Amino acid sequence: MAFWRLKMRFECNQQLLTKALNIVSKAVTSRTTIPILKGILLEVSEDGKLKMSASDLDITIEETVEIEAGVSGSIVVQSKLFGDIIRKLPNATVSIELIDTNVVIKCMNSEFSIIGLSADEFPSIKNIEENPDYITFDKAILKEMIRKTSFAASVDESKGVITGILIELLNDEINMVAIDGYRMAITREAMVNLEEKNVIISAKIMNEISKILSEASEEEENVKLLLNDKKAIFIIGNVKVVLRLLDGEFIKYKDVLPKDNKIKVKVSRSDLMESIERASLLSKEGKNNLIKFAIKDTIVTITSKSEEGNVREEVLINKEGDDLDIGFNAKYVLDVLKSIDDEEIYMLFNTSITPCLVEPISGDSFEYLILPVRITNN
């Protein structure tokens, strides 16, 4: 350990530290047996800035914090204990100093001394400095695109690329796609991109990014995304998130979309959602959560039953095409309806054994595909 590391010292406001710790600690995994990965790296640079970082090897989060006075150096502290201490200190100036291998934390009438771990053991993060090109997102739009797709990715970690969200950069738009074999979610936004490129990022990590977008500095409206073949970096104000891209070929999702839709149903999203929520109270748990749609003239009748009883719900619709009986897993339909904000939607059907497509009344900002459940008429 180099001698200069032993001198680290800085002062910073307690609220600023707490805010940064809340963000950075999202990269700390509780599941690891490697002590250093439960830590947060504190680095005070020669030019008087504090960088805090944490990593679970899949995702690394760094935040740069303004400090009041500092002596350069670095140390790793246990994330949970250090976070609890800082959060419980009063809103005042906190002084943090490295004395031997102990981190001494002082604030008003409190003084803590906790054990530090050598910064040398901490996994280093290689940035993508070679490629200075980046994509700029509006924060709110990125959050929305994540919300509208991530739920449809597979949660089975053995499933490879389909645990991820495909980000498709086209000349004039960006698409995000997730699919788990039972349903598919597609969102589209107009956006000018310098080069066409596809990357796949873990849906779990995209949900973390979404949380960071909510918490990170409010002044910052934009998010930068830097990409190379292996990694992506999101830059949100003072926060930098480095993550590994998922390797492999994504499903050719356009081939899955039905070309022909003989039945077109226009329905109030909230009416349909509330009816399915009620009907699902009696769709037997543990089984496939089956609800049946009987689409006939101007009404869709939704039914469900279990040993405890049965339910019938009626929702008004506008229909083009034939009548149809079709079954669904209530959860898959509800996930889709919850992720949409539009008051009215189109549901497109062909037969009782082909997927249902959910689309907006106008435009093509989203598209959802839901596989039906085969029903027997009893």
Three-class SS state of 193: coil
Q: Which of 78, 163, 283, 350 binds its own copies (CB under 8 A)?
A: 78
- DSSP label at residue 123: P
Closer of 315 and 357 to its own copies (Cβ): 315
Q: Which of 57, 68, 91, 111 binds its own copies (CB under 8 A)?
A: 111
Q: Which of 109, 158, 214, 377 binds its own copies (CB under 8 A)?
A: 109
**Considering the complex, what minimum distance in angstroms separates the CB of residue 114 from its own copies?**
3
Number of C-beta neighbours around residue 340 at 10 A:
19
Query: Rounded to an integer, what distance in angstroms lies between the CA atom of residue 137 and that of residue 224?
Result: 6
Phi, psi values for residue 222, rounded to 5°: -110, 155
**Considering the complex, what minimum distance in angstroms separates the CB of residue 301 from its own copies?**
9
Phi, psi values for residue 225, rounded to 5°: -120, 120
Q: Considering only CA atoms, which of 316, 320, 323, 372 is closest in space to residue 344? A: 316
**Considering the complex, what minimum distance in angstroms separates the CB of residue 36 from its own copies?**
15
Closer of 77 and 348 to its own copies (Cβ): 77
Q: Which of 173, 189, 277, 335 binds its own copies (CB under 8 A)?
A: 277
Q: Is 88 in the site for its own copies (CB under 8 A)?
A: yes
Q: Is 338 in the site for its own copies (CB under 8 A)?
A: no
Query: Rounded to an integer, what distance in angstroms lies between the CA atom of residue 230 and that of residue 98?
Result: 36
148 close to 366: Cβ distance less than 8 angstroms: yes
Question: Maximum Cα–Cα distance for the chain, whole Å?
Answer: 81
Q: Is 342 in the site for its own copies (CB under 8 A)?
A: no
Closer of 34 and 115 to its own copies (Cβ): 115
Q: Which of 199, 239, 290, 315 binds its own copies (CB under 8 A)?
A: 315
Both tokens of residue 44?
A: 């005070």
Q: Is 313 in the site for its own copies (CB under 8 A)?
A: yes
**Considering the complex, what minimum distance in angstroms separates the CB of residue 77 from its own copies?**
10
Is residue 35 classed exposed, middle or buried when 0-12, 13-18 and 19+ CB atoms within 10 A define those classes? exposed
Query: Rounded to an integer, what distance in angstroms lies between the CA atom of residue 254 and that of residue 332?
Result: 20
Q: Is 14 in the site for its own copies (CB under 8 A)?
A: no
Question: Segment near its own copies (CB under 8 A), from 166-174, 204-212, 256-264, 271-279?
Answer: 271-279
- Which residues contact its own copies (rule: CB under 8 A)? 78, 81, 84-85, 88-90, 102, 109-115, 274-275, 277-278, 281-282, 307-315
